[in-house]
Structure 1
Amino acid sequence: MKIAICQINPTMGDFPGNKDKILSFYREAVEKGADLIVFPEMVITGYPPQDLLLERDFVQKNVEILEDISNQVTVPAVLGCIRKEKSALYNSGAVCANGAVVYTYDKILLPTYDIFDEDRYFTPGKTQGVFELELNGKRRKIGIQICEDLWDHDYECKVTNLQKREGAEVIINISASPYHDGQLQERTTLIEEKVRENGIPLLYCNLVGAQDELIFDGGSLAYDGDGTLIGQGKFFEEDILIVDLDASKSQEITHIPREEMMYNALCLGVRDYFRKTGHADAVIGLSGGIDSALVACIAADALGAEHVHGISLPSKFSSDHSVEDARTLSENLGIHYQKISIEDTVTVYETVLEPLFGGKERNAAEENIQARIRGNILMALSNKFGWLVLSTGNKTELALGYCTLYGDMSGGLCVISDVSKTDVYALSRWVNQSAGCDRIPESSLTKPPSAELAPDQVDPFDYEVVSPLVDAIIEKRESPADLVANGADITIVNDLYHRIRINEYKRRQAAPGLRVSSKAFGTGRRIPIVNHFNGKINN
């Protein structure tokens, strides 16, 4: 029995385009001799539709497209869709055969945590989803489940076990499971555990592509009943994985180095964000530092160097080496480069504001004027030429509020907002190592990080200490007491926790960012702006 796992990249709400893509992959799978063809969760609509599910026409169009596709199906196919019954919506898998929808399965376990909010929209299914299909001349009992149905550790209902009891000979999980660092290990461990427990093959078909902040990595998996891996889809690209349950050979799981996985995820996130929003060119403010250098590399690899515009915006505080590093980076990447001095503009601002400031000592107000002028220039270029501004703040800086609203935070997408400062350096070193040359100038990697908004300024943090602590607070939800108990300095911990708390208002106004960790700023982290819980511990 040959099963085709089609991990494809739909576009949210592009019903005609998604239909054409599904049918194209379907026909190719038929030509390759598949007996059953499987597509990911909610492949007709894209995932997650969020409040589009409250739009009656959106749901109805999904129904019409499913009917159009099923009319053209001969070899049985499974594809994710929305099912409506009276006032209830279901996250469903449709089984199509002989020109019609012959079965539907409604997802039982609805995730409502982090970036998932399915309980807001969907009604949980009640039946176990085991169906009989004639495949290659033989009647087979197939268990269909959808994404979270597999991740049942925190639920009383164990969908896979129930399907085994109902006589399923093979389990097919259609999924829209977004990438985050370490996710592949979590998936393989879970699937191997389920196969060992139930002793039947399990095929996992995952979505690929990016939707707003989420990046779906594909990497579909197939295991036989002995728990042996017999197939693995490509990462971060569309693929058809053909698995013969009667004749497939075992293979080793493909593990890609952590930095390469994260970098490729970010490239796909940028590429799809541009393609799906109708943009072609990016503009980036190049400071000569490591953050903007990494963002420029990602943009060049995602969009093509000819579609990336690097703008150096020096002030009187910018060092010669920073301007030179920005120029060298642009040459190394082959991107368009331009230098625009902001000195005269800063002088005009300061002249206008001087009588209003009343002789008060210079502070962050004057420093941030520079950042905001840069942001205004980048946005003007965006408006004039249709380029999308990529902001370059990293997760550690955004957490601590070390960024300027309407300045360096300006942009249409924040590429590395979920990448810690520690990982910015790790990814940048990987970029150079994988290229066999210094795409990113070595001096950008080795010089002390600085915003260069004042004389002899350097960032006020030891990132080797601070960055892991910030990750522990955000991603692992560790309290100050936990961190201090594990040896962290109490003064540093209290300061970090305070900064994270008081800067929520900034993050609410930030450009959307690409999620690559288990807990990113965005839809998966909901913290009130007005918040008097400080969490500090006393000395």
Structure 2
Amino acid sequence: MADRFRVTLAQLNPTVGDLVGNAAKARAAWAEGRKAGADLVALPEMFLTGYNTQDLVMRPVFQQAAMAAAEQLAQDCADGPALAIGCPWVDGDKLFNAYLILKDGKISSQCLKHHLPNETVFDEVRIFDVGPLGGPYAVGDTRIGSPICEDGWHEDVAETLEETGAEFLLIPNGSPYYRNKMEVRQNHMVARAVETGLPVIYLNLVGGQDDQVFDGGTFVLNPGGALALQMPVFDEAITQLDLQRTPEGWRAVEGEKAHLPDEWEQDYRTMVESLRDYMGKTGFKKALLGLSGGVDSAIVAAIAVDAIGAENVRCVMLPSEYTSRESLDDAEAVAEALGVHYDYVPIAEGRSAISNTLAPLFAGRDEDLTEENIQSRLRGLLLMAMSNKFGEMLLTTGNKSEVAVGYATIYGDMNGGYNPIKDLYKTRVFETCRWRNGNHRPWMMGPAGEVIRPNVIDKPPSAELRDDQKDSDSLPDYPELDAILEILVDQDGSIADCVAKGFARETAKRVEHLIYISEYKRFQSAPGARLSPRAFWLDRRYPIVNRFRDSS
């Protein structure tokens, strides 16, 4: 009976639908494990197809292609360690989220996910069938239990595996980031280690997929919950984990324990990785954005440069007669600090042409929001023209506060393919700018030092669509607005909850009204990096037509 067992933990970044590319990554990890003398090479949940597949995995042709890829991978990896990999699996008329154990040229075992998440970004109850509570699988003379992701958050699957002979738990995950989620994961895994008395290996994906970023952070716990190994967050990594048989059972040999950054760095890294992978996996090499001199476009420019490099980012200033000299100077200063290409495209002539065209229709009517929105929509038109001409993906720059209350012009400044700050409230935008000015990391492609000068952060926010305009003319001040939004959006709270926190009822009611009437805008908005469990898209799904208003 062997006294040591080596697992190669492959924390890698798949691409949804890229069966060939994902299989190649799996083969490379397996080869590295074979070279290291591993007994088992392990990859995360649904790695072969990428994750979150959503309804793609319901297509029979995709299911068959995935299973064929798994069978071919088993043949390719016959001479060496066993390979564990996530993949959908069809049995009769049932579709499962499965974890396949490949060895000796075939699929030797299958673990089928039992607890299917049906909250936040997950719809697995609608997509997959429930797998039975099962026992462990054997690799050599070692018996391993693999609860799949959500299964690890419930005690019944782990306890069943322990009771049926599992000697340690290897839990493959496709767990996307939200702020401070690592603490939640570790608490659940400590519970499993304590309940079962077994070592627990928590193996997670990395990489961006649409709005989600899988942040890795694979870790290993010994019985009782002591941390034995911590892999880095966000980075692809392959690590060898040794387990040693003792009189008390298997124990993980202590390994490297990577530093876990604070929430500000993890949020910023998520926005960078989300944009980098969204562009890379959709084939875009370059990006552009309108740079207004304001804080939102400045931080998006910094994120873009850190994600894909200054040489691949175009910033465009599109001033009107309402654009201040201060904004022009601030935008130019940000562009210069970041080292990006900077274009200056005044909109006065185009705006005049549109106004003249509409003049006969609008005769006798006062100027109002219509004329303000024409400016924004003209900018959107010009930016989209540049995007088409140069093959550069347009980034939109609305923060979560604006997205929540509709303080944005549809078909104007909402134009774009991706929004890195869509889930970042305005008050956090300010602090994120300060964080970026004071911090630089190796994964950032942009320059170190102050890239967003203080005036950009400190001046009163303004859309500059009319004389002396300020955001506070139309909205509560952002600290108040964001606090109310956190209650109504992030906490699903009530008007009464807002009042209990000290906010005026009429202010809370007004914010609630703006949230509801802006749903149609969000329905048409660009995807963006998910930073919280209540991001706008899959986390929060509301009807566009909705007459409910809270009377509490």
Deviation at 1:254, TM superposition (A): 3.0
Distance 1:123 1:340 in 2: 55
2:302 is aligned with 1:297: yes
Answering whether residue 31 of structure 2 is matched by residue 27 of structure 1, we say: yes
Aligned positions, number: 529
Cα root mean square deviation, aligned: 1.4
In the other structure, the counterpart of 1:222 is 220
In 2: Cα distance, 1:113 partner to 1:492 partner: 30
In the alignment, which residue of structure 1 is the partner of 2:247? none
Structure 1: where are the runs of 5+ without partners? none
2:86 maps to 1:80 = yes
The separation in 2 between residues aligned to 1:253 and 1:203, in whole angstroms, is 15
Matched, 1:307 2:312: yes
- The answer for the alignment partner of 1:13 in structure 2 is 17
CA distance in 2, matches of 1:290, 1:129: 54
C-alpha displacement of 1:536: 3.8
- Matched letter for residue 305 of structure 1: A
- The Cα offsets for residues 298-352 of structure 1, whole Å up to 9 and x where unpaired, read as 0001011100000000000000111111111111011110110001111111122
Distance in 2, Cα, partners of 1:481 & 1:472? 10
CA distance in 2: counterparts of 1:404 and 1:357, whole angstroms: 20
Give the structure 1 partner of residue 409 of structure 2.
Answer: 404
Instruction: Quote the residue 1:180 is aligned against.
Output: 178
> Which among 104, 107, 112 is matched to residue 113 of structure 2?
107
In structure 2, distance between residues paired with 1:306 and 1:251: 36
Offset of 1:253 from its aligned partner? 6.8
The aligned amino acid for 1:175 is N
CA contact (8 A) 2:133 2:157 kept: no
Secondary structure, counterpart of 2:86 in structure 1: strand
Q: CA deviation at 1:226?
A: 3.1
User: Greater CA deviation, 100-109 or 434-443?
Assistant: 434-443
How far apart are the structure 2 equivalents of 1:249 and 1:114? 34
Contact 2:231/2:258 (<8 A) preserved: no
What is the CA-CA distance between 1:471 and the residue it aligns to? 2.0
- List per-residue Cα deviations over 1:398-448 (Å, max 9, x = no partner): 100100000000001111111111111111110001146320111110000
| Residue 30 of structure 1, CA deviation | 2.0
Q: Distance in 2 between matches of 1:433 and 1:265?
A: 18
Deviation at 1:54, TM superposition (A): 2.5
Question: Do 1:229 and 1:250's aligned partners in 2 also have CA atoms closer than 8 Å?
Answer: no
Percent of counterpart pairs with the same letter? 39
In the TM superposition, residue 516 of structure 1 has moved relative to its aligned partner by 1.1
Q: Distance in 2 between matches of 1:282 and 1:514?
A: 16
TM-score by length of 2: 0.94
Structure-2 residue corresponding to 1:93: 99
DSSP 3-state at the match of 1:414: coil
Secondary structure of 2:482's counterpart equals helix
Shift of 1:167: 1.8
For 1:59, which of 63, 81, 90 is the aligned residue? 63
Structure-2 separation of matches of 1:71 and 1:225: 36
Distance 1:471 1:282 in 2: 31
Q: For 1:140-155, what aligned pairs fall within 5 Å after superposition? A: 140-152=142-154
- Which of 456, 471, 478 is residue 459 of structure 1 equivalent to? 471
Distance, in Å, in 1 between the alignment partners of 2:258 and 2:499 is: 39
Deviation, 1:166, is: 1.4
Cα contact 1:222–1:230 (8 A) shared by 2: yes
* Alpha-carbon separation, structure 2, partners of 1:292 and 1:183: 28
Residue in structure 1 matched with residue 8 of structure 2 by the alignment = 4
Unaligned runs of 5+ in 2: 245-251, 441-447
- What per-residue deviation string (whole Å, max 9, x for no partner) do you get for residues 177-230 of structure 1? 000111111111111122122211000111111111111111111111231111
Q: Name the residue aligned to 2:526.
A: 511
Q: CA deviation at 1:239?
A: 0.7
Name the CA distance, whole Å, in 1 between partners of 2:83 and 2:429: 42
- Cα distance in 2 for partners of 1:473, 1:184 equals 25
What amino acid sits opposite 2:495 in the alignment? P
CA distance in 2, matches of 1:531, 1:508: 14
Match for residue 499 of structure 1 among 505, 511, 514:
514
For 2:41, the equivalent position in structure 1 comes to: 37
Residue 163 of structure 1: how far off its partner (Å): 1.3
Q: Is this contact kept in 2: 1:199–1:227, CA < 8 A?
A: no
Q: Secondary structure at the match of 2:540?
A: coil
TM-score, structure 1 as length reference: 0.96
8 Å Cα contact 1:224/1:245 also seen in 2: no
Match of 1:133 in 2: 139
Q: How far apart are residue 535 of structure 1 and its match?
A: 1.1
Determine whether 1:71 maps to 2:70: no
What residue number does 1:526 align with?
Answer: 541
**DSSP-derived class of the 1:57 partner:** helix
- Please give the residue correspondences for 1:370-385 in structure 2 after superposition, counting only pairs within 5 Å: 370-385=375-390
2:515 maps to a residue whose letter is I
